[in-house]
Amino acid sequence: MFNYSRDVMLLRRNPKRGRKSESENEENKDRLSDLPDCVLLHILSFVNAKYAVQTCTLSTRWKDLWKRLPSLILHSSDFFTLKSFAKFVSRLLTLRDGSTALKGLDFNRYCFIQPHLLERIVKYAVSHNVQRIGLSIMYGFELVPPCIFSCETLTSLKLEVRSKALFPESLNLPALTTLHLVNFAFCANGNDRAEPFSSFKRLNSLTIFYCCPSDVDILCISSTTLCNLTVDISFRNVYTIDLSSPSLRTLAFKGRVLVTLTGRNLSSIEHVNLEIWSNKYSLILLSWLLDLANIKSLTVYSSTLEVLSSIPDILELKYPILGGLKSLKVLVPEYKFRKAPAMLEDPFSLIPYGIVDFLLQNSPSAKVDVIKC
């Protein structure tokens, strides 16, 4: 019978049985700690700050490494109480190496936020030449320190609120190239339209989710540098988007409604992604395809094709659409394949009959792919 204490002592006294081979020692070597600081800090920049700080207990090698984190991910959901979250953030900002620039800040708090805590976090980031900021809060957008809207080093800004907020009218972000907004309303600028993005002289990528003009029906997206635009609209936000962006190349749109699209520079758009659900907007969808005549690639969800096919006698009509199309991708939800496994052999049977041929009537050589998503 095995006697735990006796047999363990015997094992310890036997040097031959306790000695590990060189190969075993090599396998158990801590290679991660041997990596340069810059590599370890890059890895830790993708980890929530709470867990990045906890690495200080691994060994003396890691003891002070977290103090030079180039990016901070601060999510209150990692803590049981707001008090513990606030205490952690306060200690973190106090002990962090102040000579190290802060490249990124990701702050997430979907409940009550202490104004002084939010102010300290944002001011700390701005004073340390932050380049990327992401703020996700439930409400209290007016509590966000105005210094964030005049940060000269900021290249990427993501703002998300759960309760609709007004987007600031006066901003000075000369280095901003990427802007991501969720649940904002845009005020008119003295005429019949809202034009909130014209002050961004280097804007390259714009994403607006559940946003709309607050007191007018036209949202003007005016930018000479904008290349990528993504729009996601809730079912209540119906308005017109006027594009004045001659450099725009990629347009993605998703929503239960489809806005009217106007503009002088639609011919510059080459790549389009559409996900529409409501048949109510089938004619607007057709007008989009007519206006976006020069696109080279089109990605559509099967629901979009169902909306398009709801137009009476559409397969009998000839339109000057998509003449330069090189690629058509149709995304079909995985559940449709599960409902009909036999369709895997012929995925085109999951798409409304004839609608692909309708899209390709002026570009029959375009490559077509049906993709499970």
Output the tens digit of pLDDT for each of the chain's 373 residues: 434 333 333 333 444 455 555 555 555 566 777 788 788 888 888 988 888 888 888 787 788 888 999 999 999 888 888 889 899 999 999 999 989 999 999 999 877 778 889 999 999 999 999 999 999 998 788 889 999 999 999 999 999 998 889 999 889 999 999 999 999 999 987 778 899 999 999 999 999 999 989 888 899 999 999 999 999 987 666 788 999 999 999 999 998 777 888 887 788 999 999 998 888 888 989 989 888 888 999 999 999 999 999 999 888 888 888 889 999 999 988 877 776 665 666 777 788 889 999 999 999 999 999 888 8
Contact by Cβ (8 Å): 282, 263: no
**End-to-end alpha carbon distance in the chain:** 58
Q: What is the pLDDT of residue 10?
A: 30
Q: What is the pLDDT of residue 112?
A: 75
CB under 8 Å to 313, separation ≥6 — which residues? none
Q: What is the pLDDT of residue 316?
A: 87
Distance of CA 30 to the CA centre of its chain: 35
Q: What are 10's two structure tokens?
A: 């015997």
Q: What are 273's two structure tokens?
A: 């992604």
Choose among 210, 221, 202: nearest CA to 155.
Answer: 202
Question: 256, exposed or middle or buried, with CB in 10 Å at 0-12, 13-18, 19+?
Answer: middle
HEC letters along the chain? CCCHHHHHHHHHHCHHHHCCCHHHHHHCCCCHHHCCHHHHHHHHCCCCHHHHHHHHHCCHHHCCHHHHCCEEEEEHHHCCCHHHHHHHHHHHHHHCCCCCCCCEEEEEECCCCCHHHHHHHHHHHHHCCCCEEEEEECCCHHHCCHHHHHCCCCCEEEEEEEEEEECCCCCCCCCCCEEEEEEEEECCCCCCCECCCCCCCCCCEEEEECCEECCCCEEEEECCCCCEEEEEECCCCCCEEEEECCCCCEEEEEECCCCEEEECCHHHCCEEEEEECCHHHHHHHHHHHHHCCCCCEEEEEHHHHHHHHCCCCHHHCCCCCCCCCCEEEEEECHHHHHHCHHHHCCHHHHCCCCHHHHHCCCCCCCEEEEEEC
Q: What is the pLDDT of residue 344?
A: 61
Q: How far apart are CA 93 and CA 124, in angstroms?
A: 8
Question: Taking the complete model, does pTM exceed 0.75, yes or no?
Answer: yes
